Amino acid sequence: MAHEKVKPVGHLRAGMAGDRGGPSRRSLLSATGTALATASAGCLNGVLSENARDRPSQVSLSVTTPPADDDPNAVRIARQLVSNLSTAGIDARLVPEGETQLSVNVLLNREFDLVVTDHPRIADPDRLRTLLHSTNAEGKGWQNPFGYSNLDVDGALEAQCRLTGTDRERVVRELIRRVVRDQPFSVVAIPRYYSAARASVAFEAGATTLQQPLDYLSVRPPEDRTELRVLLFDGRVLVNRNPLAVEYRDRGAVVGSIYDPVGRRVAGRVVPWIARHWEWMEEGERPRLRVSLRSDLTFHDGEPLTASDVAFSYRFLADTSLGAAEEPVPAPRFRGRVGLVHGTNVPERNTVVIEFEPCSREVLRRALTVPVLPTHVWTEKSRLRRRFLTQALVWENRQPVGSGPLAFESAEYEQSLTLVRNSDHFLFRDDLQGAARTFADRPAFERVTFEATPSGTAAVELLENGEADAVASPLNDETARQRARSSTGVQFRRDDDWSWYVVGYNARRPHLSNPRFRRVLSRLVDRNHVVEAVLDGEGIPSDVPAMRDRYVPDDLRWNGESTLGPFPGEEGSVDPEAVRELFREIGYRYDDGTLVAG
């Protein structure tokens, strides 16, 4: 038998702070604060008298955003915010950064004050644990990039992980209330998702656009074609096909079609995928799942896929240095899901037993959706480049080897990518059972080619001319949407809202650690104006992330203005005196028209 323990990367505590005996985290923090206050009392007067001779400095904030070519909506929201911050007497500046550099500065180096960007839909509330739990504040990627810390929120995040049904819904709703009150980030709006395809393209099995990996198993090209031609506005996958890459903002639909997981989310629930079946094992302190893989699975290079590759994937995603670093170097994109796994055991070639941290089965199934990586390809990528960074995290993986229904064929750097149907995939087997049968003998095309296009309008024109079949990026441009709606040769597609625009605050920075200060900043974005003027009416103002309706508290549903208070102005511009009064109310003052700490 082979046993592997997943190296811990900030696992959940089994209970609330303080229930293990000994000093609680709250008491330790309190004691530390008292000691520091006592130690500094003797020199405080000297510091204050020295600083009293200095003129107080103006509050200064930078607002980072993707460039207009990548996300014009984010830039327009950021410009509104910078303008209103300036009116409030703050030294504010806009900092556009390319997507890769923005990801490095915000998600890896934490070098930002405010950031305006979009974030994928919260598919499961446990995603908030990764985003907000204080133990993730020193992590990378979307692991609490805000540096936010609240013990009550930590407790609620841990409780929702263990609960199910209405009990979990109740805890999540209270959690959302606390997050909205504290504002570690400010939700601005939820844009509607629109895309387009040629009229002759068929979407089946419930798919409406190409947002997710399964959508490529549900789309059928025009009857006279065996190739699907897809257009992208975000061309990063034409360069980087590493499933661990931290900068992917989308759902990874393309790369997710190359790599198979143990289980996939189908029709809202996680079902066996490369697993033939699984069963929960009742004995033992921790939840355990016995997973039986389908027989004769292979990677695209012909190497067999076995239970050892599954065990390796969990270990590797938890620590991409494979134990070589002083501390684990997890794959940021999957840290939340892999953190649910305590260890693995491989009793047989096609059987793996996964031991989990204490959580509900509903939450634990999330861990089954990570990609299964070929051990023989990724082991050598464990070399450290620098602290907290391995070769695995920066490798572009231009010729990916997975086991999914689509396999790499060729690519032209920054221009195109071609994937071919993996006819050896289990979806082509006669004995296919379970939910996967919906996708039997799919994909319905022999190859799919992805190409970059500069704009939505250009994409619609290519569809009209028969030079492309579908668009796999959202049509955020109203001109493009209008053209797609009116074109007889193009079908205009509407799908579930999959993202939300957010203003993120780096609580490690002066002023931004103060929730009262963040609440005022949140009110400086006119959400109604953003939807009407920036999103052209195609969105919903919101204080709450895009997530399932049952988790949203009734009192936080949008009723015309933010629950934090009305926008202190009109048409996106703040009233100078009204906004300055908001800052005075929380203890700030003005010195010759500039905002300074009180």
Domains of the chain with CATH codes? 56-149+173-191+499-596 (3.40.190.10), 194-233+405-494 (3.40.190.10)
Least confident of 97-111, 320-334, 405-419: 97-111
Tell me the C-alpha distance between 325 and 321, whole Å: 6
What is the average pLDDT across 324-339? 91
Residue 228 near residue 472 (C-beta atoms within 8 A): no
Say yes or no to pLDDT of 398 above 90. Answer: yes
Least confident of 27-36, 330-339, 343-352, 556-565: 27-36
Say yes or no to pLDDT of 11 above 60. Answer: no
pLDDT level of residue 34 (50, 70, 90 thresholds): very low
**What angle in degrees, to the nearest 10, is found between the helix axes of 151-162 and 165-182?**
160
Q: What proportion of the chain, given as a percentage, has pLDDT over 70? A: 90
Read off the pTM: 0.86
Residue type present at position 13: R
pLDDT level of residue 6 (50, 70, 90 thresholds): low
Q: Which helix (H) or strand (E) holds 573?
A: strand 573-574
3-state secondary structure at position 564: coil
Say yes or no to pLDDT of 342 above 80. Answer: yes
3-state secondary structure at position 322: coil
Least confident of 11-15, 178-182, 422-426: 11-15
- Exposed, middle or buried, 66 (CB in 10 Å: 0-12/13-18/19+)? buried
Nearest to 530 by CA among 502, 550, 508, 507: 502
What pLDDT is attached to residue 477?
Answer: 86
Instruction: Please count the residues of the chain.
Output: 598
What pLDDT is attached to residue 109?
Answer: 87
3-state secondary structure at position 434: helix
What pLDDT is attached to residue 4?
Answer: 56
What pLDDT is attached to residue 246?
Answer: 63
* pLDDT tens-digit map of 290-303: 999 999 999 999 99
Residue type present at position 224: D
* pLDDT tens-digit map of 447-490: 999 999 999 999 999 999 999 999 999 998 889 999 999 999 99
* pLDDT tens-digit map of 525-541: 999 999 999 999 999 99
Say yes or no to pLDDT of 29 above 50. Answer: no
Say yes or no to pLDDT of 1 above 90. Answer: no
Q: What proportion of the chain, given as a percentage, has pLDDT over 90? A: 77
What is the average pLDDT across 389-418? 96
Give the position of tokens 């579908």: 470
pLDDT level of residue 40 (50, 70, 90 thresholds): very low
Say yes or no to pLDDT of 164 above 70. Answer: yes
Say yes or no to pLDDT of 330 above 80. Answer: yes
Say yes or no to pLDDT of 347 above 50. Answer: yes
**φ/ψ bin of 5: left (φ > 0), alpha (ψ from -120 to 50), beta (otherwise):** beta
Nearest to 135 by CA among 328, 288, 5, 316: 328
What is the average pLDDT across 263-270? 93
Say yes or no to pLDDT of 24 above 50. Answer: no
Say yes or no to pLDDT of 32 above 50. Answer: no
What is the average pLDDT across 297-320? 98
pLDDT level of residue 35 (50, 70, 90 thresholds): very low
Tell me the C-alpha distance between 474 and 375, whole Å: 35
Sheet holding 60-65, edge to edge: 91-96, 60-65, 114-120, 499-505, 185-191, 539-541
What pLDDT is attached to residue 3?
Answer: 58
* pLDDT tens-digit map of 541-567: 999 999 989 999 999 999 999 999 999
What pLDDT is attached to residue 50?
Answer: 47
Say yes or no to pLDDT of 571 above 50. Answer: yes
| Maximum distance among all Cα pairs of the chain, rounded to whole angstroms | 84
Partners of 574 in the β-ladder: 569
Specify the DSSP class assigned to residue 552.
Answer: S
Say yes or no to pLDDT of 433 above 90. Answer: no
Radius of gyration of the chain (CA): 25
Residue type present at position 133: H
pLDDT level of residue 245 (50, 70, 90 thresholds): confident
Least confident of 18-32, 176-190, 326-340, 436-450: 18-32
* pLDDT tens-digit map of 120-140: 888 899 999 999 999 988 877
What is the average pLDDT across 313-337? 94
Say yes or no to pLDDT of 92 above 90. Answer: yes
What pLDDT is attached to residue 389?
Answer: 87
Average pLDDT, rounded, for the chain: 90
What is the average pLDDT across 401-426? 97
Specify the DSSP class assigned to residue 431.
Answer: T
Distances (CA, A) of 56 to 53, 65, 383: 9, 29, 48
Structure-block tokens of residue 181: 């009150």
Nearest to 97 by CA among 108, 85, 83, 86: 108
